[in-house]
Amino acid sequence: MAPWIFDGYAPVSGVVTTNQDLATFATAMLRGKAPGLSALTPLADADDADQRIGCFWFSSTVGEDRRRIVWHNGMTGGYAAFVGFDLERGRRSSYCPMLPRRSTASAYGC
């Protein structure tokens, strides 16, 4: 999918991020120094049996040890991003490709 390019179009108020931004944000979340930490608290069940959702943050139970991973992703106009963390282990992961993502169809060879 080609990136969305419009005159005057600015989703999420024109917020732009980088891998470094997401890593810094995830680190601040792990250290308890970022605003909005209460949004991580699961409030309701999500569609999958091993998922719950807080204020826009998903909690998934993963692995043989059934640990909880908190994450959120987003896609728009050919771009994708992901940030997630394991609160118990103090680990984080983020991904923000610098190139537009391929369409779902081409990713599956369709």
The structure's pTM equals 0.67
CB 35 within 8 A of CB 90: no
Average pLDDT, the chain: 75
Helix then strand then coil, in percent of the chain rounded to 5, is: 20, 30, 50
User: Does residue 109 register a pLDDT over 50?
Assistant: no
Q: Quick: pLDDT tens for 29-50.
A: 888 888 888 888 888 888 888 8
Q: CB under 8 Å to 36, separation ≥6 — which residues? A: 55
Q: How far is residue 31's CA from residue 25's CA, in Å, rounded to a whole number?
A: 10
